[in-house]
A and B are shown apart, each in its own frame.
Chain A
Amino acid sequence: MPYLPLLMVAIAWLPARDAHAYLDPGTGSFLLQAVIALVMGALLTLKLYWQRVKSFFVSTPADREDDADEE
């Protein structure tokens, strides 16, 4: 699992192919989501699991929902 982000970084470094004139940017965005969703979904699961473990030992404010969009 920890090497998956590294793999994503490695893909970002691969040399680029030439662009075509009739590009459809949508297909690439959809395919990318299918790839990164595996990694990011797993990371989120770990994060939520870790938060539950943490909140078992440390009491945190129950609901930070309302100030989630504030700093």
Chain B
Amino acid sequence: MSGIRHPASFRDPSGFIFTSEGVLYRHLAPASRECYDALMRTGLYEKLVGKGLLLPHEEQADAARLSEGAYKVIRPRRLPFVSYPYEWCFSQLRDAALATLRVQSLALEHGMSLRDASAYNIQFPAGRGRPLLIDTLSFEPYVEGRPWVAYRQFCQHFLAPLALMSHRDVRFGSMLRTCIDGIPLDFASALLPRWTKLSPSLAPHVHMHARFQRAHGDAAREGPPRKERPVSRRGLEGILSSLESAIRGLRWEPGRGASEWGDYYDDTNYSDEAEQSKRSGVEALARSLDPDLAFDLGANTGEFSRILSQRGVHTVAFDVDPVAVERNYRRVREKKEEHLLPLCMDLTNPSPGLGWAHAERDSLEGRGPADVVLALALVHHLAISNNLPLALVADYFARLGRELIVEFVPKHDSQVERLLATREDIFPDYTQDGFEASFGTRFEIRERRPVAGSERTLYRMSRR
């Protein structure tokens, strides 16, 4: 019997991911034997799993039956949702970088070393803001004198984007969507402020690094390979320590006034009564559902996402604004909240399928559908600010989730009046009847709940 091989799992000859009867497994090729056995034998696996830095797995007894030619088949613990670095806020990428360095230091203590430092190998599975490594086959025995093979990847995937986000603009994070193997260092070097060439961390790891890559990029034509210059163990530890201070030195504070939505909850038209009524309305509508995975679209700082996540529902809180996502993430981390994953997502241009044949990184839709989609105070932004016909909004929501809790905000609501103040009203169909008619073609309307103290209505709908 052989499962279906995952389309993104082709780079690594030592193993691949496949699914069989809906369960995700990893095939370990005979070539991975030495590395995998060393990971388990040295106690590194136990140490990392104990610290929550590595995704646990179980070895399967019937390896040969599950996958032909496998040395072993392992079953990694299931991730409720996979996120990508271009969807993370600043602190998520920073924490992922620190986790990678921590894993590498612990690996060295156990005589092992990371051979990949890809940001895609890090996930935030259980909320709490604690990132962990998901790639069990990332380790190899450490050989004294060898440089860190993943050094360049670490600088491209973590240091360069974080430096640009911190020293230029936080929106550089979205560049990772274009540069799928991290930001090339010559590119980062050209984009960073000139003064960073004086920074004791960015000068060597980004600027000098880019220069060395150019100067020695044509090594194949420079004649027979030179003898590899050794990097002592202390030297390697020094580099890791320098990288750690470089990452810790990069900061970004979500500024006031700079954000689209960061201060939204201080800047709404809700009375306390409406706020309370909306909250209890969403709670009541959610009570009849028993989802495993929820998407909160336009979640802002996650006020309403928490209604679900605090019930133990794995909730992904998407927002277009990096400030709101940053605040949400910091709150998750501070309170060690579980089941809540804040992510950056522009719904008018959601994450597409990326990489080779569009299959290496899944689109948002490809990672769904969620059991329930929350769309509160969102539809008027899509319909009015983005000229999206309600039928198209309903259509996309139906592709993202099976159940829907959605809020309709009428035209005479002061927030919609604000949107219409600076544009011509070309939205004759934006009425409650028009909304129900459009969504009714895709969903069956199960429940309506007016939000007291406002003109708004909450709906619970099921996909047809």
B208-216, B252-260, B344-352, B374-382: which lies at the interface: B208-216
- Give Cα A27 to B211, complex, Å: 12
Query: Measured between C-beta atoms, what is the minimum distance from A9 to chain B in Å?
Result: 5
B interface residues, tally (CB under 8 Å) = 43
Q: Does B239 contact A (CB under 8 A)?
A: yes
Q: Are A40 and B208 in contact (CB under 8 A)?
A: no
| CB-CB under 8 A for A32 and B214, given A5-B200, A8-B203, A44-B241 | no
Q: Are B204 and A25 in contact (CB under 8 A)?
A: no
- Give Cα A24 to B147, complex, Å: 16
- When the two chains form the complex, which single residue of B51, B98, B212, B230 contacts A29, counting CB atoms closer than 8 Å? B212
User: Which residues of A are in contact with B by a Cβ distance under 8 Å?
Assistant: 5, 8-9, 11-14, 16-20, 22-45, 47, 66, 68-69
- When the two chains form the complex, which single residue of A20, A29, A43 contacts B242, counting CB atoms closer than 8 Å? A43
| CB-CB under 8 A for A32 and B204, given A24-B217, A24-B220, A44-B241 | yes
- Give Cα A49 to B395, complex, Å: 64
Q: Are B217 and A28 in contact (CB under 8 A)?
A: yes
Q: Secondary structure of the A side of the interface?
A: helix
The list of the 5 closest CB pairs from A to B, nearest first, reads: A37-B235, A40-B238, A23-B217, A34-B229, A28-B212
Q: Are A12 and B203 in contact (CB under 8 A)?
A: yes
| CB-CB under 8 A for A25 and B217, given A9-B203, A16-B211 | yes
29 examples of A-B residue contacts, CB within 8 angstroms: A5-B203, A11-B211, A12-B197, A12-B204, A12-B207, A23-B213, A23-B217, A24-B216, A24-B219, A27-B219, A28-B211, A28-B215, A29-B151, A29-B209, A29-B212, A30-B228, A30-B229, A31-B229, A32-B209, A33-B231, A33-B235, A34-B229, A36-B204, A40-B235, A40-B242, A41-B234, A41-B237, A43-B242, A66-B51
Known: A22-B217, A31-B216, A40-B242. 15 other contacts (CB 8 A): A12-B204, A16-B214, A17-B215, A29-B209, A31-B229, A32-B212, A33-B231, A34-B147, A34-B230, A36-B208, A41-B232, A43-B238, A43-B242, A45-B238, A69-B95
Query: Measured between C-beta atoms, what is the minimum distance from B355 to chain A in Å?
Result: 19
- Give Cα A45 to B241, complex, Å: 11
- Give Cα A44 to B234, complex, Å: 8
Nearest B residue to A19 via CB reads: B214
| CB-CB under 8 A for A12 and B214, given A29-B151, A44-B234, A45-B234 | no
| CB-CB under 8 A for A28 and B214, given A40-B238, A40-B239, A47-B241 | yes
User: Which residues of B are in contact with A by a Cβ distance under 8 Å?
Assistant: 51, 95, 98-99, 102, 147-148, 151-152, 185-186, 197-198, 200, 203-204, 207-220, 228-232, 234-239, 241-242
